[in-house]
Amino acid sequence: MDLNFSAEDSAFRDDVRAFIKDHYPVELHGKIEEGEELSKEDFLKWHKVLAKKGWIAPAWPKEYGGTGWTAVQRYIWSEETAAADAIRLMPFGLTMVGPVIYTFGTPEQKAKFLPGILSGDDWWCQGYSEPGAGSDLASLRTKAERFTGDDGKEYYRVNGQKTWTTMAQHADWGFFLVRTDAAAKPQEGISFLLIDMKTPGITVRPIITLGGEHEVNEVWLEDVIVPVENRIYEENKGWTCAKFLLAHERTGIAGVAASKRGVERIKTVARNELSEGAPLLANPFFKRKVSELEVDLAALEYTELRTLAGESSGKGPGPESSLLKIKGTEIQQRLTELALEAAGHYGAPYFRSFGEGDNEHPIGPDSAHRVAPSYFNMRKTSIYGGSNEIQRNIIAKMVLGL
């Protein structure tokens, strides 16, 4: 992949930069920089702007609503959005189930589900994990029994429990892995169902994370009736869709451009804001940690670029998605560790000022307020999308042939 920008690429970058400057919602400014918790409305505001412009799904084929950008243009796009501290959109529709639907779905399924993903009208959640079926996902037990309804149509009756379901409290639809053949080998008895989250029998219960946020949930399914036409691909072949989706999910988790922006932010803080006496960035130990992070990030960026180049020549993400996931999430976690170090005592999570009527306002510089919750929150990254230990197993098998 040639990274010397052509005149067209430079012009494209200028267009993207100008568009973000003019159209990124003013009310969202500063939210990423301050590490604020984002609401569904926040995500939707930016989503709608991009959907209107036709820039919402750069990775999709053009015929389904993609941009038709080259790999270099997609790289420029992610660099520019990260540099502008723009919100990273929720992946469940755009990065995860969308590609499954346009790859494995029927024409009717594509026509029914893809427009809502692109417009942002339908929010999705992922019903894969269960208590007892996380790393060993194929052992999942949520059961879907097929029957013919009084109207003569075919349905599944779904019973079971999913867990860690991110944003299920806001989701209109969920994509679920369910067991449709208990007698077959684990991977061969699973189907991929799209379920309307308003269907009777679905209960969503919050799980509050270490950082105090409501991000994940338990989802209970009790006699949930789902039309068979909502199944993607063949019955008992859902594992094929599941694996395809996971490769897309893992590639998307790497977040290189956002981490590059994160390094810049830490350097600014360590150079100025929190320094009492000599700037922290002048401390050789701290400086070395930042430099090592930058070196690892540069190496990761090149791996991501190779994957992007492969994708643009029609190669789907393979085991390199596991590599991107491990290194990307390790770097994200190291960033939050450095941010905590840079914040020093101002980063203590419950260190509040106790002035009259001022209990809610943490003391210290703005950059320090969300550092600890963000540190706690980012512990998740080495677990979700398949834990990093499992990714190492995949690399050992698929790349090293062990």
Instruction: State in angstroms the smallest separation of the CB of 236 from ligand FAD.
Output: 20
Is 384 an interacting residue with respect to ligand FAD (CB under 6 A)?
A: yes
The nearer residue to ligand FAD, 57 or 253, going by C-beta atoms, is: 253
CB count in 10 Å sphere of residue 149: 11
CB-based burial, 248-268: b 16+ in 10 Å, e otherwise? bbbbbbbbbbbbbbbbebbbe
The nearer residue to ligand FAD, 14 or 136, going by C-beta atoms, is: 136
Is 166 an interacting residue with respect to ligand FAD (CB under 6 A)?
A: yes
The nearer residue to ligand FAD, 199 or 393, going by C-beta atoms, is: 393
Instruction: State in angstroms the smallest separation of the CB of 15 from ligand FAD.
Output: 34
Is 390 an interacting residue with respect to ligand FAD (CB under 6 A)?
A: yes
Q: Name the CA radius of gyration of the chain, rounded.
A: 22
Residues ≥6 apart with Cβ < 8 Å to 308: 1, 71, 74, 75
Is 126 an interacting residue with respect to ligand FAD (CB under 6 A)?
A: yes
Instruction: State in angstroms the smallest separation of the CB of 386 from ligand FAD.
Output: 5
Could you tell me which stretch among 15-23, 161-169, 245-253, 296-304 binds ligand FAD (CB under 6 A)?
A: 161-169
Identified binder of ligand FAD from the candidate list 135, 148, 203, 272, rule CB under 6 A: 135
Could you tell me which stretch among 30-38, 53-61, 293-301, 383-391 binds ligand FAD (CB under 6 A)?
A: 383-391
Residue nearest to ligand FAD (CB): 134
The Cα–Cα gap between 103 and 326 comes to 26
Stretch 179-218 residues interacting with ligand FAD (CB under 6 A): 216
Task: Point out which residues pair with 305 in neighbouring strands.
Answer: none
Is 128 an interacting residue with respect to ligand FAD (CB under 6 A)?
A: yes
Stretch 214-233 residues interacting with ligand FAD (CB under 6 A): 216
The Cα–Cα gap between 358 and 371 comes to 20
Q: Count residues contacting ligand FAD (CB under 6 A)?
A: 19
The nearer residue to ligand FAD, 52 or 397, going by C-beta atoms, is: 397
Instruction: State in angstroms the smallest separation of the CB of 265 from ligand FAD.
Output: 23
Is 380 an interacting residue with respect to ligand FAD (CB under 6 A)?
A: yes
Closest among 382, 385, 386 to 330, alpha carbons compared:
382
Is 129 an interacting residue with respect to ligand FAD (CB under 6 A)?
A: yes
Binding site for ligand FAD (CB under 6 A): 125-129, 134-135, 164-166, 216, 380, 383-384, 386-387, 389-390, 393
